[in-house]
Structure 1
């Protein structure tokens, strides 16, 4: 019961307190340092929950009920990298983008550890990448040489998405929240790219940020609750 209460408090603090504060500061355009601090604090909640879950699993017999790789350090690395990426993106966009790329790589490693690399992922990646290419191709001239970096990043997030979507079939019931988290994170990236290249509205920005924080939180809560409830 205590774990559930803490989880609910984390959700409330992250989604209903800190995220609205971050969005308000972002739209006001003032106090950049405070804005980045609030953004980092929002992701920090997810990181802290994941580490608490990991330490709990390492110190108890929960490993007897779940595969050891479920508490792999790769997911902790991914969440931690994204924490730094959140802050650095507002200071140096290129470095922040590279860190998010590395964060997705860590998630890919984690998903492969849990469910392997099913052959169905290859056509899934191709389909997702093809759809994205058809939509974003009109912006290629504006991007210049950066379009190749966008393509590499796109292949990475679609690999993460494809692997995540197969987890309910390759890993079981705990694969469902991980699959949903992968969807939220990738859709958030796509919306942010659309907002940057096409047109950002208050609604689209809110949805993109909500999906991003929800995806990170869902990853962390899956680790945290599994450590306490199994």
Structure 2
């Protein structure tokens, strides 16, 4: 028993450190699934794979004259399928924007890395951890140096049939993104209010504030919502 625990020490430690490194970036970004969640996902994956690798020590009795054939890959399939439900929990929708996809992907790959440590593929687990951290942190730093482009879902409401306000709204959006793409048209408030949405790109916080100020002071605009996307 002691030898088994000692042999399981490296997979457990490796999975814990890997999950912590990946989760630290998500924690720093203020995401719902952060440091502890990623550690637990990686650790659970490693422990389950360790259990699958040592099925010979399970407390069950085989039928007489029957051979038990173990297949640890079935456990890996089950772990990765089950983690999909947890990943779905961090993806949410705000208006027409989908958030949490990067966090869901980081949870999924953290589980995969935990599986690698669990089956003893330490080199591949370390490589996966380093690569994932570089993608999450390094590419974020690279994108920060690129010209800022924020994808925005814009939704504006005005009185039904107010063509003049609709034209002013489209002109205001064009000052930020001349290729703003219409996304949805809706009639609400018992047919009294028209609501339209656009998907567009802005140059950053300044463009967003400028557009908000323009819509706030625009006659005929009843309500608006500017929803920047950020994973």
Superposition TM-score, scaled by structure 1 size: 0.25
The structure with higher relative contact order (CA 8 Å, sep 6+) is 1
Superposition TM-score, scaled by structure 2 size: 0.25
Larger gyration radius, structure 1 or structure 2: 2
By percentage of residues, which structure has more strand? 2
